[in-house]
């Protein structure tokens, strides 16, 4: 009886999903064909144009998601070696890129942070310190995410593994559940914490998995080196302003009925007492975590590549036995990123080598020849920001728009540092617009504490505030520290 019931329930879902998947594949193939049929500039060879079609179809696939993103990119790499003018050795070259291994090593370190309970301990310490009211709870959870963003390159891992479970526990502690009691605390807490997570993603090169991709594009194509330290300094002043101001904005838009939360501090204290003092494993992870961050911050002085530092930290955890090899090979999220991130790194570089991105920049620049760089920069940045309504992935957004827009503006004499950091940071802030803008957004939205209308209204108002903060405070700060 049970088996037949399950079959009856799942069979219609499968039958419904297949046509949807087929339509998505059809759209991806049509996008590939459409690009191929467009007039090819003489400066681009036929294989370069086919490579552009493959790249466009890959971006479409990442947006439409007929199959997982890693599988799409793997197919794209194979197709590029067959039709895009790359040898198989060249097509697979992205998997040896140091930037990819920086991300992988950071994932392994984050695995140890979460498994040993150190990340949870950090969150509870912040809640105990400043969680006496609803605004303080937002600050506590945002500070936790900010500390972890210095080394965990997955906002999903930080949110799903550490921040969200604690936020949900505190909501339930006050009897705030999805539905009639959501407005007591949960609706405010989920929406305000999520908006701040988008800010912490923008503040660090390791704040989000595809940030290093933007940094590499800037370094290799635009010849403007971006380091962990320079990104941290760029995001410091505007990021702190956003982290402080945004909870007040959400507080006005979506006020909680419960304003004071002393039980949250007692909850954190109880949980910390239950955890006991830091054990040896947590202390070792804390030392390695701090050491890696310090080495990253001082890399301009000692010259050691940040990927080497991250791999040394991962190796130290493996030698200590805190991080098991079984943990490394079973980290599905890390290896999924390995496949799609390494492949996209190579496809993006191949487009530059084929002259496609340069030709696109020249075309856009010539079509906007009448505008100076200041209005062009302002208009392009707004278009770039609000285009994220059409993206369910920060990575797809960066790949589709970051380099072409940056090339156009730099060619029009816009300051390279201003352009590079503005477009790299703003794409993370734009993820707050919707309930699908980046991986954590559906996690928070799925808690059912805020309606679709609330989520989008708050996202739009916060977007305006973020643009003002990062344009006024951020650009002024960048001028002061010599970025432009």
Q: What would the mean pLDDT of 9-19 be, rounded to a whole number?
A: 54
First to last CA, the chain: 70
> Cβ(58)–Cβ(70) under 8 Å?
no
Nearest 10 degrees: Cα torsion 116, 117, 122, 128 = -150
And the tokens for 421?
């950091």
Model pLDDT for residues 431-444, shown as the tens digit of each residue: 999 887 887 888 78
Residues 6+ away with beta carbon under 8 Å from 377: 409, 414, 418, 419, 422
Q: In what helix (H) or strand (E) does residue 462 lie, and over which residues does it extend?
A: helix 452-469
Model pLDDT for residues 63-72, shown as the tens digit of each residue: 788 988 889 9
Model pLDDT for residues 160-187, shown as the tens digit of each residue: 667 888 888 888 888 899 999 999 999 9
Q: What is the pLDDT of residue 446?
A: 78
Nearest 10 degrees: Cα torsion 99, 101, 105, 110 = 60
Bigger pLDDT: 138 vs 347: 138
**pLDDT-based confidence at 18, cuts 50/70/90?**
low
pLDDT for residue 1 is more than 50: no
pLDDT for residue 351 is more than 60: yes
Q: In what helix (H) or strand (E) does residue 275 lie, and over which residues does it extend?
A: helix 262-275
Residues 6+ away with beta carbon under 8 Å from 363: 41
Model pLDDT for residues 182-206, shown as the tens digit of each residue: 999 999 999 999 999 999 999 999 8
Could you give the count of Cα atoms lying within 13 Å of 114 in the half-sphere of its Cβ?
Answer: 22
pTM of the model: 0.75
Place of tokens 């921040």: 163
Model pLDDT for residues 355-394, shown as the tens digit of each residue: 776 676 667 666 666 678 998 899 889 988 998 886 767 8
Spatial separation of the C-alpha atoms in residues 443 and 211, rounded to whole Å: 21
Coil, strand or helix at 393: coil
Name the DSSP letter for residue 175: T
Nearest 10 degrees: Cα torsion 243, 125, 169, 240 = 0
Per-domain boundaries in the chain: 27-94, 117-278+355-480
Q: What is the pLDDT of residue 10?
A: 45
And the tokens for 186?
């949960």
**pLDDT-based confidence at 61, cuts 50/70/90?**
confident
Question: Measured over all CA atoms, what is the biggest interatomic distance in the chain, rounded to whole angstroms?
Answer: 72
Nearest in space to 417 (alpha carbons), one of 131, 219, 238: 219
Spatial separation of the C-alpha atoms in residues 347 and 53, rounded to whole Å: 11
């Amino acid at each position: 009886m049970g088996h037949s019931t399950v079959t009856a329930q799942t069979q219609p879902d499968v039958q419904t999903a297949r046509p949807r998947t087929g339509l998505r594949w059809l759209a991806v193939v049509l996008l590939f064909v459409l690009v191929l049929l467009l007039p090819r500039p003489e400066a681009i060879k036929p294989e370069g144009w086919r490579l552009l079609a493959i790249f466009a179809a890959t971006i479409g696939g990442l947006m439409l998601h007929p199959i997982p993103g890693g599988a799409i990119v793997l197919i794209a790499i194979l197709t590029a070696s067959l039709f895009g003018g790359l040898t198989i050795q060249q097509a697979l070259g992205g998997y040896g890129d140091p930037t990819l291994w920086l991300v992988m090593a950071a994932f392994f370190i984050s695995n140890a942070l979460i498994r040993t309970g150190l990340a949870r301990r950090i969150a509870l310490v912040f809640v105990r310190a400043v969680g006496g009211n609803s605004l303080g709870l937002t600050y506590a959870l945002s500070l936790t995410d900010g500390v972890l963003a210095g080394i965990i390159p997955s906002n999903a891992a930080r949110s799903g593994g550490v921040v969200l479970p604690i936020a949900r526990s505190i909501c339930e502690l006050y009897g705030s559940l999805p539905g009639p009691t959501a407005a007591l605390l949960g609706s405010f807490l989920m929406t305000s914490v999520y908006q701040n997570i988008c800010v912490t993603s923008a503040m660090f090169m390791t704040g989000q998995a595809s940030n290093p991709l933007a940094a590499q594009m800037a370094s290799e194509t635009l010849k403007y080196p971006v380091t962990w330290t320079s990104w941290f300094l760029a995001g410091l002043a505007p990021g702190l302003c956003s982290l402080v101001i945004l909870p007040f904005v959400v507080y006005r838009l979506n006020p909680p009925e419960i304003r004071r939360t002393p039980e949250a501090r007692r909850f954190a204290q109880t949980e910390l007492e239950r955890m006991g003092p830091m054990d040896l494993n947590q202390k070792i992870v804390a030392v390695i975590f701090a050491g890696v961050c310090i080495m990253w911050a001082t890399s301009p002085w000692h010259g050691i590549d940040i990927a080497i530092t991250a791999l040394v930290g991962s190796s130290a955890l493996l030698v200590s036995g805190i991080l098991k090899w079984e943990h490394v090979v079973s980290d599905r999220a890390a290896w999924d990123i390995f496949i799609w991130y390494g492949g996209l790194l190579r496809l993006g570089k191949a487009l530059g080598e084929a002259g496609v991105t340069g030709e696109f920049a020249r075309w856009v620049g010539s079509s906007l020849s009448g505008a100076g760089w200041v209005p062009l920069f302002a208009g392009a940045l707004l278009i770039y920001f609000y285009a994220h309504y059409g993206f369910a992935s920060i990575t797809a957004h960066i790949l589709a728009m970051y380099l072409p827009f940056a090339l156009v503006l730099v060619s029009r004499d816009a300051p390279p540092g201003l352009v590079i950091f503005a477009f790299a940071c703003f794409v993370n802030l734009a993820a707050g617009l919707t309930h699908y803008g980046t991986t954590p957004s559906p996690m928070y939205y799925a808690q059912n504490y805020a309606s679709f209308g609330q989520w989008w209204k708050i996202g739009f108002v916060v977007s305006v505030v973020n643009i003002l903060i990062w344009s006024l405070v951020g650009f002024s700060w960048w001028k002061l520290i010599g970025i432009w």
